[in-house]
Structure 1
């Protein structure tokens, strides 16, 4: 995708396709984001991806018609990213899994929303028929945003995540079918 510039509430940022050079900064950003919220599947440090791992992901995503890796950048620094990940299996090649994360300092600037919008545009252009995602039941803002963009609740995984308070929470499965 072509990079796009946004200016929201006195913050200017770019959304663009991830490049190999981003792999150097992405491990630290992912670690920070994982430690700032319990909305992610991981706790800080779990399922760690190093620079080489991110280089591999970025390279594979760039070569695949069913994958997209986007970054959001403020003043040359990555503040969030999203991925659409598909596969080449005939029965499921029409769909991708979407995930997004943004540094807490940059919540409220529509960065996640714009990463989602660009991912939807990409999916439409590439004739992807379905985008699916999972979201923690307590993440009301995200669920509201996804519904705004045409996602529907397709199911609930009961007591799927145990958070720091020791309680179990449901994961909401959502999908958007693209005509």
Structure 2
């Protein structure tokens, strides 16, 4: 059976859980609290020397890290990865954008506000600006289509909904992005997740 080491407060970990659940892949979830440095223990570092969650251990004992690499592995051959080369490349484009232009701002703001107790006004203005630009880009994309790539849920939606749905916890007002709110509801509905 697959083993997932993850922290339930992490969107990166939850996207792995949601992809596995959606695909009907059985797994054992091992809660790994990053706030308590559990991903820095010698036992965990033996599995993933980078000391990061999520990390999965495959049934054959091999470990795999990085959330988007994991969900790509899990979804291989499924409808979560488009069949057309162009659509598959568009999905990957969103996955790369999520880790470079979305997660570093939306997730970091959320962590600083919710878990470190900072106020939104005390955040680095550049962090806020980049987070708002990411939300504007996403809102524009989901204004034109129900999902990010094609007409059905793909890994792009799973990757981006993870932190977008909790952006308000970082001080971003999702009421300013009605298309995002509708998209979040659609993706949560397909995945069967809720707060």
TM over 0.5: no
Whose helix fraction is larger, Structure 1's or Structure 2's?
Answer: 2
Q: Greater RCO between the two (CA within 8 Å, min separation 6)? A: 2
Normalising by the residue count of structure 2, what TM-score does the alignment of the two structures yield?
A: 0.29
Whose strand fraction is larger, Structure 1's or Structure 2's?
Answer: 1
Q: Which has the larger radius of gyration?
A: 2
Normalising by the residue count of structure 1, what TM-score does the alignment of the two structures yield?
A: 0.31
